[in-house]
Structure 1
Amino acid sequence: MLRMQAPLPDRYLDDTPEHLSERIAAAKATLGDRVFILGHHYQRDEVMRWADARGDSFRLSQLAAANTAADFIVFCGVHFMAESADILTAAHQQVVLPDLNAGCSMADMADIDSVEEAWESLEQVVDIERVVPITYMNSSAALKAFVGRTGGAVCTSTNARGVLDWALGRGDQVLFFPDQHLGR
């Protein structure tokens, strides 16, 4: 379960790379299969060397869900990735995002307040039952929940065309966010 975590203490930020490597190796040895470290493609080599699995955000979330032996999922990525893994993992698993400042500019292009406001505006001018919302995987859990509540779907870059075809088969219009270019 994704929980609020405290910021990383300064002692870790001020530590040497060598000492941090020793600490990580010791922690992995102690925890064994209870910890599963995921590294997104965009991470630096010094982070990726510790990853048990590498890939894109969706694949890593699927791997986290499949690894039910791990109590701790360390997701070396950004907020939406850790949230996605948390949605898919078991209740006993704790998803940890090492860098709480790690964000995604694309995921930040749409927030729940703006999307709900747009939805309410659409309700005033169109038959909202004929509008299907779709969000890209690179979005917050709140936006994924919104599309679920309103009959929409979450897509990846790989399946976007198929999801758009599905949506247009169910409705006359699509509200696509946050990536307008993928939605076209």
Structure 2
Amino acid sequence: MRRDNWLVHQLPMGMTDDDFFVRFVSIFQAVATTFLEDADTIESLVDPTVAPQPFLPWLGSWLGNSWIDSSLPDAAQRRLVRSLSAALGWRGTVFGLALVLEAITEAPVTIQETGVVRRHRDDGCPAPFARIQVRSTGWLDEGDFVELVRDELPVSVAFEVEVDGRRIWPA
């Protein structure tokens, strides 16, 4: 916490006797105080538990996702940003995909995958494949949900999405 007149108190004694000079320095102090207060709170701007609500979609975009809907409830946006940050290091894996999809659907997700890793030229190896089963697409429509899955999976992985027992991808 800064005391009042923190900048003026740093002036040499002779300068504080001049009322005009003190008022002049106070102008700069007022401007600098706003910058310092912003700098003091910078760590809370990137913490999804306490960041201002308008920052949450912006934080999501830092994590590579521009689809966090600002009309969602505050708690849902915070949960999504926390899940996205937790999943970032696991991106492209079953675990990472499950973290993201469970945050959106708010329900368990079943992912079955072949687990195959292969060189592009390998013949005889099946292509990587994942089957994703969810109860709902959460707040995303089906097309956006499929696009999200496509973004989260490696490009070489073919996939199928079932919502409540109904296959929505491939159509």
TM-score (ref. length: structure 2): 0.29
TM-score between the two structures when normalised by the length of structure 1: 0.28
Work out which structure has the larger RCO, using CA pairs closer than 8 Å and 6 or more positions apart in sequence.
1
